[in-house]
Amino acid sequence: MAQGRILAKKDIETVFRRLSEAMPGRTKTAKGPKDQPDPFRSVVSCILSAQSRDTNTKAATDNLFALATTPDAILALDDEAVAKAIKPCGLYNNKTKSLKKLCTALIEEYDRTVPQTREGLMSLPGVGRKCADIVMSFTFGADVIAVDTHVHRVSNRIGLTDAKTADQTAAQLEENAPAWAFHDGHFWLIQFGKAICVSRKPKCETCPVNDLCRYYTATGAA
């Protein structure tokens, strides 16, 4: 990892401070992944969202939760019924196996209660760090900067991190971001990534952190 690509901690804090002033942050209406109403359905939705567009994930979760909304109810369905329901999100056979293993683990090891810690969530079949952090942040309101596609892109473009994977980005943000930014950091970054630091043509001229941004400096736009 090229440490020179990562901004100094004082500059990282400045970036978060400016984003906190420019972006709405966590709102009272923030819900679990894909707007699910409870932790179990949030975890299931997060698993189904892997390599799936939001619209396809919504179709899959709507289909599945029309049939079952608890671990016991999903286990009562045969694999064919689950796979048919979640087919829109792709990889439906593998995801069916993951869901069945998830439900079994929740029943046998957690008394049907979704754990609220990263360690506990990641012990569940099919749940990696990205999914665990997203559930912790959105569903349980934990002070953690969950890393999705937007957060991963923005963090590495600016220089908050220098990482190839979302998990590496999450670990570097946890190490480098100021503690006060953990609560709303995910929301500032994702809102910034959707409004200004967009994927194809970032709006650098109107960016509140362009004087610190590694990308802006490297492209010669500064």
Annotated binding site, which residues? 197, 204, 207, 213
35, 143, 148, 167: the active-site residue? 148
How many residues are listed for the chain in this entry?
222
Residue pair 130/118 in contact by the 8 Å Cβ criterion: no
3-state secondary structure 77-145: CCHHHHHHHHHHHCCHHHHHHHHHHHHHHHHHHHCCCCCCCHHHHHCCCCCCHHHHHHHHHHCCCCCCC
Farthest CA pair distance, the chain:
59
148 is catalytic: yes
58, 130, 133, 162: the active-site residue? 130
What is the spatial distance between Cα 99 and Cα 124, in angstroms, rounded to a whole number?
Answer: 10
78 is catalytic: no
201 burial via Cβ count (<10 Å: 0-12, 13-18, 19+): exposed
Neighbours of 42 (CB within 10 A): 23
- The amino acid that residue 92 corresponds to is Y
9 contacts: CB under 8 Å, gap ≥ 6: 176, 178
- Catalytic residue ranges: 130, 148
